[in-house]
Structure 1
Amino acid sequence: MKVVQPSFTPEPAKPRRNADLALRLWSSLVLIPVSLLGAWWGGPAAYALAAIVAAIVFAEWATIVGRSPSIWPSNAETALGTAFVVLAALLAGLYGVVIGLCVMIAGALVALALSRSFWLALGSLYAGLLGVSLAALRADPAYGLTAIVVLLVVVWGTDSIAYFAGRGIGGPKLWPRVSPKKTWSGSIGGLIGGVALALIAPVLLGVPVGWKLVALLVGLSLVSQIGDLVESALKRLFDKKDSSTIIPGHGGMMDRVDGLIFAGAAAMLVGWAHAGPAEIGRGMLLW
């Protein structure tokens, strides 16, 4: 008598979400203290840290758009582009935001002339804005540290709470063609949680909180989410999953600071318009 064995189809392996989450947490335990230590230290050390991060972002951008085979500069256009990005951040901190922005624009023009690539020139501006804005905010002698801390908290809080809210609540996708994993629940949760966390920092640091500061933090949270979507759109356009693999659980530096680039630039412009180029931090915080 023939015995018929029941058919059995093994379940597909579940994604290693817990492993990925553990990597993200361990990476954050390194990145957050380093960032806060650099912000607290101030001066050339803080500007140098901003310059290094901006240089890595430019190198990753160059690999995404196909102008470099790796994040190490491999030709004249990426080497000079990196040098200009670093110089722009350092000069913005040491000699003022106007000089930093001029060097940043000069670097983009040099990249365009050497490479004939609009995308590489745009990457020079993208990375340069990160370094210049962080250095210019921190250079404020009275409110630079507080401004940087508030900016970091609203961006990190928005990103982290959006991640957990999106995973926990789920629901309709925010923009599936660009970023299939992002949801409206994550975006709204990140906005509310990021602003709430960011309001704690000025209270602890002795900065008065009014409705204008709250409105600014709401704007920075939204802008940081736009920055995240812009980077996702760029990677999708060039068919890349991550900007690099240098940060376990996060991908590349761009994947970690995409929201900070947009939020930092917005904070710099608002602070500059409100209080002038020498007190950008005060202009961001005091209303």
Structure 2
Amino acid sequence: MEPRDTASRDQRPAGAFSDPDLLRRIASALVMVPLAIAAAWWGGWPFALFWLVAAAVVLWEWNRLILDEVPPVMMGGELMALAAAVLLIRYFLNPGFGLVALGIGAGIALAFSPQGRSRWAIGGLLYATAVVAGPVILRDDPSLGFIAILWLFAVVWGADVAAYFAGRTIGGPKLWPALSPKKTWSGFIGGLVAGTSLGLAVVHLSGVPVSFGLALCSAAIAAASQGGDLFESFVKRRFSAKDAGKLIPGHGGVMDRLDGFLVAAIVAALVGLARGGLGAPAQGILVW
């Protein structure tokens, strides 16, 4: 009887408040969330620089994750390419110009990365670029840029928080145990519902009409956010790491905190560009 009872207890959900890092997670959020919203409200170069710094840290964490020693020339070249890409995107208001800088950065990564890791090094540059490119493209829309960023925050943060609490409270079948043994289908569905609902609420309160198309898009972005979390879990598992860094208490590194956001942001930016063009990407993602 005792082994069966023990197994039964092991299958129960851990509980939303059983995480010893919960208080540190909350404290970190109380610092980061106001800073992110303030930068979004300010817009322009302060917003771009805010996310460029975040992208630079993500790039550093990625390189330290995949390489035993990061060649200074490679790291410096990638950082310059990343900064140049942001400068060109904002100055010319065209993401295509940033591809030139990223191409040079990819060449530097290819030339100076250790044998067998060049694809990972190039992938890290693209991964870090998504951190800054997605938000900047959306925010630079002069009409709905700020609202689009608030919507994106609501979808991603809502999905993240709800997935965490739903998964730990409800438990149930695992989402993808080979990549992330703690994530569950209940958490994924909870995050999908909460992220979509909060995103629509933000848009409604801002005065922009809420449509069925926006609801579907919000759900897709919430799902993309959780997919980004799984992708980072895959990378960390590939290189036998628990966290990408230790900069943020309760969360690990900046890469650990932005894994879902950067995927959601770049997907939202691409949809916005496809529907609204270079002049109105935020309108393209919000108005259906």
TM-score (norm 2): 0.89
- Match of 2:194? 193
Structure 2 residue aligned with 1:76, among 50, 53, 73? Answer: 73
Letter of the aligned partner of 2:173 in structure 1? P
SS, match of residue 251 in structure 1: coil
- Match of 1:41? 42
Deviations 1:165-190 (A, max 9, x none): 00100111111110011011100101
- Distance in 1 separating the partners of 2:34 and 2:265: 19
SS, match of residue 281 in structure 1: helix
Question: Structure 1 stretch 114-123 or stretch 169-178: which is displaced more?
Answer: 114-123
How far is 1:238 from its partner?
Answer: 0.4
Q: Which has the higher contact order (CA 8 A, sep 6+)?
A: 2
Whether the 8 Å CA contact 1:81–1:111 is kept in 2: the answer is yes
SS, match of residue 140 in structure 1: coil
- Match of 1:158? 159
Whether the 8 Å CA contact 1:270–1:283 is kept in 2: the answer is yes
Whether the 8 Å CA contact 1:175–1:182 is kept in 2: the answer is yes
How far is 1:279 from its partner?
Answer: 1.3
- Distance in 2 separating the partners of 1:68 and 1:200: 46
SS, match of residue 182 in structure 1: strand
What is the correspondence of 1:122-161 to structure 2 with a 5 Å cutoff?
A: 122-161=123-162
What is the correspondence of 1:1-287 to structure 2 with a 5 Å cutoff?
A: 17-66=18-67, 68=69, 75-96=72-93, 97-115=95-113, 117-287=118-288
Question: Structure 1 stretch 86-95 or stretch 254-263: which is displaced more?
Answer: 86-95
How far is 1:18 from its partner?
Answer: 4.9
How far is 1:108 from its partner?
Answer: 2.0
Deviations 1:23-43 (A, max 9, x none): 000000001000000000001
Letter of the aligned partner of 1:89 in structure 2? V
How far is 1:77 from its partner?
Answer: 0.1
Structure with higher Rg: it is 1
- Distance in 1 separating the partners of 2:283 and 2:97: 20
Query: RMSD of aligned C-alpha atoms?
Result: 1.8
Deviations 1:213-248 (A, max 9, x none): 111101101111111100000000000000000000
Q: Tell me: CA distance 1:205–1:94, structure 2 relative to 1, closer, same or farther (3 Å).
A: farther
How far is 1:153 from its partner?
Answer: 1.0
- Distance in 2 separating the partners of 1:227 and 1:260: 7
Letter of the aligned partner of 1:265 in structure 2? I
TM-score (norm 1): 0.90
The count of aligned residue pairs is 270
SS, match of residue 21 in structure 2: helix
Deviations 1:67-104 (A, max 9, x none): 546xxxx6110121122223323432333222233323
